[in-house]
A and B are shown apart, each in its own frame.
Chain A
Amino acid sequence: MFEERTGKDTADITMAIFRLGIVVTFVVMVARMFDLQVLQAGRYAALANQNRLLRIESPAPRGVIYDRNGTILVRNRPSFEVALVPEDLPTDTLESEEVDEEAVEIEKILRILQADRDSEVALRMAEILFNKLGYDDFIRTVEAVNVQVSYLDDPAFVTPVTDGGRMVMAAPLEVYLPDLDKVLPLEGLVALVKRTVAIQSMGSASDPVPILDGVDRIRAFEISEDSFRIPAVRVTQVPVREYLYGDLLSHVLGFLGPIPAFAAETYRQSGYNNPNERVGLNGLEYTYQTELRGTPGVRYSERNILGIDVRTIGPEVEPVPGWNLHLTIDWRLQSIMRAALQAKMEEVGAPWAVTVAMNPQSGEILGMVSLPSYDNNIFAERIGEEYLLLEQDERRPLINYAIGGLYPPGSVFKMVTSLAGLAEGVITPETLVVDAGPIYLPNRYFPNDLTQAQKFVSWNHKNGVVHGRINVESALALSNDIFFYYLGGGYLEEFVGLGHVLLSKWTELFGFGEKTGIDLPGEVTSLVPTDQWKRQLFAEPWTTGDSYNMAIGQGYVLATPLQVLVETAALANGGTLYVPKVVHHMTDANGGVQRDFQPEVKRQLPVDPEDIEVVRRGMWDVVNASYGTGQVARVAGVEVAGKTGTAEFCEYLPEKSDCRRDEKEFLPFHSWFSAFAPYDNPEIAVVTFVYDGGEGSAVAAPITQKILEGYFTEIAPRPQPVATEP
């Protein structure tokens, strides 16, 4: 019986093991809980938070941009975007098999948005949906509801980059793109919206799907009023940049656009979490992107497994508005400069032209015009066809030629040669050179054969004029080339010139060959030509003829208009090279100054003030002497000094295998004029450049005169007229 157990079987030990098992189970499981809930609690809490919390950034208002007098140049204008929230759309119930409730609701919404009547709305919507869905899905969706897609007549060529995730290098495919300028019938749009919403709700049904943007305030208000009928619709305000003066300042201000693909990673690492954020792509919007952007606000949205918002969780970080920029530019002067430049440019039919003004005592840019220009407002909401048109325009209006174009400076470079000669003791103010007509450099291999010699002329020889005995001051005033040939390269045994080493040295000292450092993107520079440079590039040694050309700003010397302006300003202020600046100071949203203006000296020219004064006298003569080449630049009541420049350039024509030349076989000219005023205590330095404009005195000088005249009458009028005696 029960009590008569023999102990030879497993009965008692099984019960003991069972009891032990209970204890061991408890110990093991509590140990496991301790591991999970105490030792690893932090890791699992983080995973749980990752499950439920979605970080939502609210962008900070972008900084506003003012000119130097406080005139608003750029501000933020509200634009409205219409989006649908998938979870608020009715779902297709199974009871009513015939009716698709979701499609009915979407159609109702599209009618309220006037997609059936307003072709612009329909087109824009189709474009947004096309960009969301992509080529295949778009066409499949539209054709699934028996709506015909119209295609563009010409195929586009698309190079496939990936094929099922693998990189491939295949030949471009011919693809017929749908013609988005043809209005889609309403049922097509309904199908597209339904498809887009379906794709979006795979991610989160709470996230609004944008279906229309660029809605103006009145329409947005009307749509909002209808919202009780269409609960799924959200109208959100999207700030859009508004450039009040459009193409007047577009090169300086720039524009915003989507983060470029190549920089996406860099932006992401610097805290740009929203890949759709618009960033500065050009101009100040680019340079001061970080300052203008401010700091986005942060909140967390708690979401359940279906992606539905449950609540918002703090701590909420308030967005910090971006800093406001206060420019050195005076928009009134900018307007004057633009008007003057535009009028003359159209008169001579030049393709592009530049004028830049600067305070020579500090480097503050007062105005900067590069023509042709463009209206940056067209990129305010999106970068589309207009951008492509601008990019394809032969005159390339997107380029700021003031900093992005390299040209032979011509005679405006002669001050560099002059000062180099004086400072290096090659000449004195009294050194005379005789212009008796063209000079010849003997061919080094046939020194006695005059027909093989190289001929060098001065511009005046074309008119049958020789200038006779001239010193440096009158050479500048007359812009005589013979004097500078002598000075730059010497002449036979008669005259010892600077030579290429000293020429290069002073060209560099004046800042050519390095970027000026202006706070705008897209600045270019060329190298200062040297013997070594020429040997490397052309496998030829530097010749005296090269020095001649360089001395008059031709040949291998290239400069941007801004580099010439920095040169001019250094002469105006007595020898200081400033870094040009467009932003004067920055303020935060409360008006507190965050970064104040500090003039930045790049270099002090190592020269005697008297030497500079000689060159300045020469520039004074250019405008004020009876024989000066730039007399047209005189301004009543102000002493102007300046220098004309007429720079030959070669526009290579492949069909002629030669440069473009006129009927007399002369090369075309760029027109330059650099000036500063008033002579004694300069407030403004201006450089004007007209591409293929002709003579400096005829084109660039009168433009500069108009600018200076405008400056001294409208912006900084002189208290009393001052006599203009030499």
Chain B
Amino acid sequence: MLTRIYWRHFDWLLLGVVLLLCGVGVAVIYSATRNSPDLVDYWQRQINFIGIGLVALFAVALFDYRQLSLLAVPAFLAFILSLILVYLFGDAQGGSRSWISVGGTLVQPTEAGKFLLIIFLAWYLSGRRESIHRLPYLLAALVLLLAPLVLVYIQPDFGMTITYAFMGGTLILSAGIRYQHLLLLLGGALLAIPVLAASLQGYMLARVCIFLPTGEDGQIVAPLLNFLRAVFNALPSECLQPAANTAASYNVDQALIAVGNGGLTGMGWTQGTQNQLLFLRVRHTDFIFSVIAEELGMVGAALILLFLLFVVWRILRIAAQAPDPFGRLLAVGIAALIFFQIVINVGMNLKLMPVTGLTLPFISYGGSSLVSMLFAIGLAESVSMRQRRINAY
């Protein structure tokens, strides 16, 4: 029976781990917001978002992903159009023009755009047999990827841009391109560096600079600084004297203190001083991993990280068992998206990565972020349920 086969291949373990992570998220959001009168009900809201997200997850899982290939082209065009609309009429929030008002509520097209881009690229790259081995076809893929990339880049949304770039790159590579083409692309990328450098926004460079290692004198270490000087004509003050600009590095420094303060076993749930006394900023979204590290310690944080990466691993497993290249690339794209957000967000919390404003999947507070992540899991489950081979878990 069709239905029976479907549910037999539904990855319950994946769903279980995802729900566990969502639950941890609610608990940590509660801890992070209980002392802020404006935010005290956020943990309840997050539960509602989980509910909505689960409905989306099952709805998408039941939907045959192969039908999505029909949607690929119109969805992609709609996405590009929405990005252009945002560019022309959007609202600026937090310095970037990435929101647009739809019937009174603000939405961020880039959030849904992640999936539209995955679907479109998966469709395009799986479309013709081995056609990706032909250079014109490959270059067309790159152009199709660059279109949304450029539109997001000029919003400007640095985090989303590199997310799209990573996803697109992973999809193209895992679709399988010839090695000589790969070398060609790398050469092209090297040539593009000056163009990128000229257009890199000052604040992006500043964010990169506060993360770069500094020497005894508080200056960025000489080789890096000289490289920056050579590539960019005007460096923001954060690059020239990062230590002096404490305001810019405040959030990261406080996050690092929170992580270190947690120690091996943590200060206990709702007991972290950096979190509870509000020294940690944006603690329920961007820096929620620091809350985990402070209150649950290295043991708790490493465990959460393990679960997060397990989700990625599991989706790659779905990709390997997918019935067709479209499903496989769909799963790879979703895995790349989730993996990239984990690396960037946790890396930022541990000061291994620059600040980008990407949230931690399943855990950070936020309706669109959480629902879209659960939607992504639903998409992966949809692929999983339609796998051809029956494998033991």
Is B175 an interface residue when CB atoms closer than 8 A count as contact?
Answer: yes
Most A CB contacts (10 A, CB to CB) among B173, B258, B346, B347 go to B173
Contact B298 A34 (CB under 8 A): yes
Say what secondary structure dominates the interface of chain A: helix
Contacts of A539 in B (CB 8 A): none
Say if the beta carbon of A302 comes within 8 Å of chain B: yes
In the docked arrangement, what's the CA distance between A33 and B347, Å?
10
Mark interface residues in A1-45 (1 if CB within 8 Å of B CB, else 0): 110011011111011001101100110111011101110110111
A305: interface (CB < 8 Å): yes
Chain B residue at smallest Cβ distance from A44: B260
Are B264 and A41 in contact, with the CB atoms below 8 A?
yes
Given the known inter-chain contacts A1-B129, A304-B277, please indicate yes or no for A47 contacting B178, CB distance below 8 A: no
Most chain A beta carbons < 10 A, residue from B177, B261, B319: B261
- Tell me the nearest residue of chain B to A38, going by C-beta: B264
Query: Does B182 interact with chain A (Cβ within 8 Å)?
Result: yes
- Interface members, chain B 110-141 (any A CB < 8 Å): 129-130, 132-133
B91 at the interface (CB under 8 A from A): no
Are A41 and B263 in contact, CB atoms less than 8 angstroms apart?
Answer: yes
| B11 contacts partner chain A, Cβ-Cβ < 8 Å | no
Residues of A within 8 A of B325 (CB): 2
Q: Give complex CA distance A22, B311 in Å.
A: 11
Provide the main secondary structure of the chain B interface.
helix
Q: How far in angstroms is the closest Cβ of chain A from B264?
A: 6
A19 to B336, CA, bound (A): 11
B316 pairs with A36, CB closer than 8 A? no
Chain A residues with Cβ below 8 Å from B175 are 11
- Cα A19 to Cα B260 with chains together (Å): 29
Q: Is the pair B170, A36 in contact by a Cβ cutoff of 8 Å?
A: no
| B177 neighbours in A (Cβ, 8 Å) | 9-10
**A305 and B277 contact, CB distance less than 8 A:** yes
- Report the number of A-B residue pairs with Cβ-Cβ less than 8 Å: 140
A51 and B343 within 8 A (CB): no
Q: Is the CB of A44 within 8 A of B259?
A: yes
Q: Could you tell me if A18 and B316 are in contact, using CB atoms closer than 8 angstroms?
A: yes
B297 in contact with A29 (CB, 8 Å): no
Nearest A residue to B277 via CB reads A304
Q: Which chain B residues (164-196) contact chain A, with CB distance < 8 Å?
A: 170, 173-179, 182
Report B246-278 CB contacts with A as 1/0, cut-off 8 Å. Answer: 000000001011111111100000000110111
Tell me if A382 counts as interface (CB < 8 A to partner B). Answer: no
Asked if B176 and A51 make an inter-chain contact with CB atoms under 8 angstroms apart, the answer reads no
Residues of B within 8 A of A48 (CB): 257-258, 260-261, 273-274, 279
Q: A6 CA to B178 CA in the complex, in Å?
A: 10
Contact partner, A44, options B129, B182, B257, B328, Cβ 8 Å: B257
Closest to B133 in A: A9
B residues within 8 A CB of A29? 305, 346-347, 350, 352
Give Cα distance in the complex from A34 to B133, angstroms: 44
Give the residues from 197 to 213 in chain B that come closer than 8 angstroms, CB to CB, to chain A.
none
B260 interface neighbour in A14, A22, A36, A306, Cβ under 8 Å:
A36
Question: In the assembly, what is the distance between CA of A97 and CA of B130, in Å?
Answer: 70
Q: Is the CB of B179 within 8 A of A33?
A: no
Set of chain B residues within 8 Å of A305, measured between Cβ atoms: 277-279
Question: What separation, in Å, do the CA atoms of A627 and B312 have in the docked complex?
Answer: 119
Chain A CB within 10 Å, residue with most, of B178, B277, B319: B277
Q: Does A461 count as interface, using CB distance less than 8 angstroms? A: no
Known A-B contacts A9-B179, A22-B312, A22-B339; the reply to A45 vs B260 at CB < 8 A is: yes
Check A310 for interface membership: any CB of B closer than 8 A.
yes
B313 at the interface (CB under 8 A from A): yes
A2 / chain B contacts, CB cutoff of 8 Å: 324-325, 328
Per-position contact with A for B23-53: 1 when CB-CB < 8 Å, else 0?
Answer: 0000000000001000000000000000000
**A303 interfacial contact with B, CB 8 Å:** yes
Q: Give bound CA distance, A49 to B258, whole Å.
A: 11
Instruction: Compute how far the CA of A9 lies from the CA of B133 in the bound complex, rounded to whole angstroms.
Output: 8
Query: Which residue on chain A has the smallest CB distance to residue B266?
Result: A37
The answer to whether A51 touches B274, judged by C-beta atoms less than 8 angstroms apart, is yes
Tell me the complex Cα distance, A38–B265, Å. Answer: 10
B170 touches A47 (CB 8 A): no
Q: List 19 A-B contacts (CB under 8 A).
A: A2-B325, A10-B178, A10-B182, A11-B173, A14-B174, A15-B319, A18-B332, A21-B339, A26-B309, A29-B352, A33-B302, A36-B350, A47-B260, A48-B274, A52-B277, A303-B277, A304-B35, A304-B278, A304-B279
List residues of B whose CB falls within 8 A of some A CB.
35, 129-130, 132-133, 170, 173-179, 182, 254, 256-264, 273-274, 276-279, 293, 297-298, 301-302, 305-306, 309, 312-313, 316, 319-320, 324-325, 328, 332, 335-336, 339, 342-343, 346-347, 350, 352
Task: Give me the 7 closest cross-chain CB pairs, A-B, nearest first.
Answer: A44-B260, A11-B176, A9-B176, A304-B277, A48-B261, A37-B298, A14-B174
8 additional contacts (CB under 8 A) given A41-B264, A52-B277, A303-B277: A2-B325, A9-B179, A10-B177, A14-B174, A41-B261, A48-B279, A49-B273, A305-B278
